[in-house]
């Protein structure tokens, strides 16, 4: 199947935001002008876009890593960094996007777009960070990293009519008789391994037919690639059973074949099940086609079983895909069924651009405080898109930047929440994931405010403490542990006896 790829793993990353710039205007005779560091540019997004020109996911199979351009850093003299270019990835109509096995986007509409990986925002320069209190900040914010994701793209054909049936029933023969599609036809099973789409023009109504590979008993459980194939009829409004009236297999006949396929349709559990408007396969309108009546035995079989087939309650047609007998009537019936289905749609499916709300819009300062284990130590863990973003924007080599982060955290209520959760001075606190977050000793006595600001790039609150390395921090932590051992012992006893509630078990 070298020329058709319908599932592919894709690794995408948005561009990183450019860093903000910390710079001070130089003017003659004025050693300290105002801050004039510009903002960094935003990283570009990676965007999926439904395109008519694309029919397979082959390109992504060949090069599965796609990333957008980074933003450039801001510069002095209030020069903003340049935004990174977006990367637009064309995908066929009917592409379903999954992450960790869950459907996150269903690109079924023409020209639909979906932001799959957002670029990081550029960091603010010191000009933008200046405030009444903080007149000339000696730091700037770092650009945020772009979003990284690993997703699976899956193609589910979009067609009005799906032809289903056993291998060699004549599905490919029928689609080539009714449309200009020219799939391979042969007298061995599983000739068709990938779906074929054909377009039919019937008296002003244009509709598409999908010829899907043959189904066998157990298909819904994955036998004979059945799951792969059933996936392609999930979007089809009308299902046509193509029954072989002239099979050589003695244990088969049209009625029993129909029952087998019906059973598989009813069993099939679609991952689109929760998508709005999805109708289970077992509830779609059906049309029954008895094929190969040009063969005398076939015609006889068709006549014999017609009544029993009609009892299922769906229209029955006797045809020959080879001599084209009965195809006119079938064509009209299909056109009517398609028209009826389209009339039931809430709105006509005119091509339109559907912008989906991008995933992971990293906004808001909601956060949670729980306890966790960091390198064997019990630590308080703060998680939240906003707070984690602030951390990623912080240049930890610059005390003033760290002070700014402390102010932001306090303002967002992180300090209060830590107190509430039972954190004590000196307790390790991790912001972000336990493995990769930033760990520090909690010092709630830190006052907030720019009144403490000293020379640029420093913060009076950091004096003496400096930015401890993990090792120093650990050593200091153990010192404090000793000093507070007695008091802690008592608190732990209380906790163990259930006087406190563990915030992680809430």
Ligand X SMILES: Nc1nc2c(ncn2[C@@H]2O[C@H](COP(=O)(O)OP(=O)(O)OP(=O)(O)O)[C@@H](O)[C@H]2O)c(=O)[nH]1
Binding of ligand X at residue 171 (CB under 6 A)? yes
One-character DSSP codes across 129-192: H--SSSSS-S--PPPPPPPEEEEEEEE----SEEEE-STTSSHHHHHHHHSS------SSTT--
- Nearest approach, Cβ of residue 318 and ligand X (Å): 10
Contact partner at residue 169 from ligand X, Mg ion, none, CB < 5 to 8 Å by partner kind: ligand X
Please identify, using beta-carbon distances, which residue of 191 and 371 lies nearer to Mg ion: 191
Contact partner at residue 398 from ligand X, Mg ion, none, CB < 5 to 8 Å by partner kind: none
Please identify, using beta-carbon distances, which residue of 227 and 417 lies nearer to ligand X: 227
Q: Give residues 144-203 in contact with Mg ion (rule: CB under 5 A).
A: 172, 191-192
Handedness of CA 505, 359, 232, 281 (dihedral sign): positive
Instruction: Name the CA radius of gyration of the chain, rounded.
Output: 33
Binding of ligand X at residue 167 (CB under 6 A)? yes
Structural tokens at position 465: 């403490």
CB 161 within 8 A of CB 334: yes
Binding of ligand X at residue 173 (CB under 6 A)? yes
Please identify, using beta-carbon distances, which residue of 322 and 359 lies nearer to ligand X: 322
Please identify, using beta-carbon distances, which residue of 169 and 337 lies nearer to ligand X: 169
- Nearest approach, Cβ of residue 261 and ligand X (Å): 12
One-character DSSP codes across 354-412: -BPPPTT-------EEEEEEETTEEEEEEE-HHHHHHHHT--TT-HHHHHHHHHHHHHT
> Helix (H, G, I), strand (E, B), or coil: what is residue 447?
coil
Q: What is the distance between the alpha carbons of residues 405 and 409, in angstroms, rounded to a whole number?
A: 6
| 292 is an annotated ligand-binding site residue | yes
Contact partner at residue 294 from ligand X, Mg ion, none, CB < 5 to 8 Å by partner kind: ligand X
Please identify, using beta-carbon distances, which residue of 184 and 206 lies nearer to Mg ion: 184
Residue with tokens 């377009």: 199
Q: Which of 10, 50, 117, 169 binds ligand X (CB under 6 A)?
A: 169
Phi, psi of 258 (to 5 degrees): -60, -40
Residue 255: enclosing H or E segment and its boundaries? Answer: helix 254-267
Binding mask 366-395 for Mg ion (x = CB under 5 A): ------------------------------
Structural tokens at position 21: 């710039």
Q: Give residues 299-328 in contact with ligand X (rule: CB under 6 A).
A: 320-322
Binding of Mg ion at residue 341 (CB under 5 A)? no
Stretch that binds ligand X, among 101-109, 160-168, 197-205, 394-402 (CB under 6 A): 160-168
- Nearest approach, Cβ of residue 320 and ligand X (Å): 4
- Nearest approach, Cβ of residue 175 and ligand X (Å): 8
Contact partner at residue 149 from ligand X, Mg ion, none, CB < 5 to 8 Å by partner kind: none
Residue with tokens 């061995």: 188
Contact partner at residue 339 from Mg ion, ligand X, none, CB < 5 to 8 Å by partner kind: none
Q: Which of 241, 292, 389, 461 binds ligand X (CB under 6 A)?
A: 292
Beta pairing, strands 196-202 & 238-244: unpaired
Please identify, using beta-carbon distances, which residue of 89 and 236 lies nearer to ligand X: 236
Q: Which of 23, 70, 112, 192 binds ligand X (CB under 6 A)?
A: 192
- Nearest approach, Cβ of residue 2 and ligand X (Å): 18
- Nearest approach, Cβ of residue 168 and Mg ion (Å): 8
| 320 is an annotated ligand-binding site residue | yes
Q: What is the distance between the alpha carbons of residues 217 and 289, in angstroms, rounded to a whole number?
A: 19
Please identify, using beta-carbon distances, which residue of 210 and 409 lies nearer to Mg ion: 210
Q: Which residues are CB-neighbours of 274 under 8 A, at least 6 positions away?
A: 103
Q: Which residues are CB-neighbours of 219 under 8 A, at least 6 positions away?
A: 226, 227, 229, 230, 264
Stretch that binds ligand X, among 90-98, 125-133, 183-191, 438-446 (CB under 6 A): 183-191
- Of the candidates 37, 41, 51, the residue with the CA atom closest to the CA atom of residue 14: 41
Q: What is the distance between the alpha carbons of residues 342 and 117, in angstroms, rounded to a whole number?
A: 34
Binding of ligand X at residue 170 (CB under 6 A)? yes
| 372 is an annotated ligand-binding site residue | no
- Of the candidates 115, 128, 102, the residue with the CA atom closest to the CA atom of residue 39: 128
CB 141 within 8 A of CB 237: no
Please identify, using beta-carbon distances, which residue of 23 and 172 lies nearer to Mg ion: 172
Q: What is the distance between the alpha carbons of residues 23 and 38, in angstroms, rounded to a whole number?
A: 8
Q: Which of 88, 185, 356, 460 binds ligand X (CB under 6 A)?
A: 185
Question: Residues touching ligand X: how many (CB under 6 A)?
Answer: 24
Q: Give residues 69-88 in contact with ligand X (rule: CB under 6 A).
A: none
Structural tokens at position 428: 């390790």
Burial class (CB in 10 A: 0-12, 13-18, 19+), 345: exposed
Residue 13: enclosing H or E segment and its boundaries? Answer: strand 7-13
Contact partner at residue 189 from Mg ion, ligand X, none, CB < 5 to 8 Å by partner kind: ligand X
| 291 is an annotated ligand-binding site residue | yes
Q: Which residues are annotated as a binding site for Mg(2+)?
A: 172, 192
| Contacts to ligand X by CB under 6 A | 165, 167-173, 185-187, 189-192, 213-214, 291-292, 294-295, 320-322
Q: Which residues are annotated as a binding site for GTP?
A: 165-172, 190-194, 211-214, 291-294, 320-322
Q: Which residues are annotated as a binding site?
A: 165-172, 190-194, 211-214, 291-294, 320-322
| Contacts to Mg ion by CB under 5 A | 172, 191-192
């Amino acid at each position: 199947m070298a020329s058709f790829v319908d599932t592919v793993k894709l690794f995408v990353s948005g561009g990183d935001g450019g860093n903000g710039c910390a710079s001070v205007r130089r003017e003659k005779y004025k050693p300290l002008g105002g801050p004039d560091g510009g903002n960094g540019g935003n990283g570009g997004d990676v965007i999926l876009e439904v395109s008519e020109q694309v029919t397979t996911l082959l390109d992504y199979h060949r090069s599965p890593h796609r990333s957008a351009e980074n933003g450039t850093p801001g510069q002095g003299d209030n020069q903003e960094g340049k935004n990174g270019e977006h990367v637009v990835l064309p995908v066929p109509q009917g592409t379903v996007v999954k992450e960790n096995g869950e459907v996150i986007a269903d690109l079924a509409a023409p020209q639909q777009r979906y932001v799959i990986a957002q670029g990081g925002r550029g960091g603010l320069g010191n000009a933008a960070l200046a405030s009444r209190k903080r007149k000339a900040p000696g730091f700037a914010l770092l650009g945020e990293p772009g979003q990284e994701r690993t997703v699976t793209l899956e193609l589910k054909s979009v067609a009005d009519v799906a032809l289903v049936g056993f291998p060699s029933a004549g599905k490919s023969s029928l689609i080539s008789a009714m449309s200009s599609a020219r799939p391979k036809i042969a007298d061995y099973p599983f000739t068709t391994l990938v779906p074929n789409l054909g377009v039919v023009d019937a008296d002003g109504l244009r509709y598409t037919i999908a010829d899907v590979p043959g189904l066998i008993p157990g298909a819904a459980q994955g036998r004979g690639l059945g799951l792969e194939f059933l996936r392609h009829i999930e979007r089809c409004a009308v299902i046509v059973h193509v029954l072989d009236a002239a099979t050589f297999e003695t244990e088969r006949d049209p009625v029993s074949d129909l029952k087998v396929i019906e059973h598989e349709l009813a069993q099939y559990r679609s991952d689109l099940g929760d998508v709005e408007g999805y109708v289970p396969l077992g509830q779609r309108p059906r049309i029954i086609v008895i094929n190969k009546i040009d063969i005398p035995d076939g015609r006889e079989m068709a006549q014999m079983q017609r009544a029993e087939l009609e009892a299922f309650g769906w229209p029955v047609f006797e045809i020959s895909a080879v001599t084209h007998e009965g195809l006119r009537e079938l064509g009209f019936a299909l056109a009517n069924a398609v028209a009826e289905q389209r009339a039931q749609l809430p709105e006509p499916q005119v091509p339109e651009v559907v912008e989906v709300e991008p995933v992971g819009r990293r906004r808001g300062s909601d956060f949670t405080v729980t306890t966790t284990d960091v390198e064997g130590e019990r630590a308080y863990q703060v998680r939240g898109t906003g707070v984690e973003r602030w951390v990623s924007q912080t240049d930890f080599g610059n005390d003033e930047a760290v002070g700014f982060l402390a102010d932001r955290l306090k303002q967002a209520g992180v300090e209060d929440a830590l107190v509430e959760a039972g954190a004590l001075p000196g307790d390790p606190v991790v912001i972000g994931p336990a493995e990769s977050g930033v760990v520090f000793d909690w010092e709630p006595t830190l006052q907030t405010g720019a009144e403490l600001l000293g020379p640029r790039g420093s913060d009076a609150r950091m004096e003496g403490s400096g930015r401890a390395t993990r090792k120093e921090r650990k050593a200091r932590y153990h010192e404090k542990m000793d000093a507070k051992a007695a008091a802690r012992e008592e608190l732990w006893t209380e906790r163990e006896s259930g006087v406190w509630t563990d915030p992680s078990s809430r």
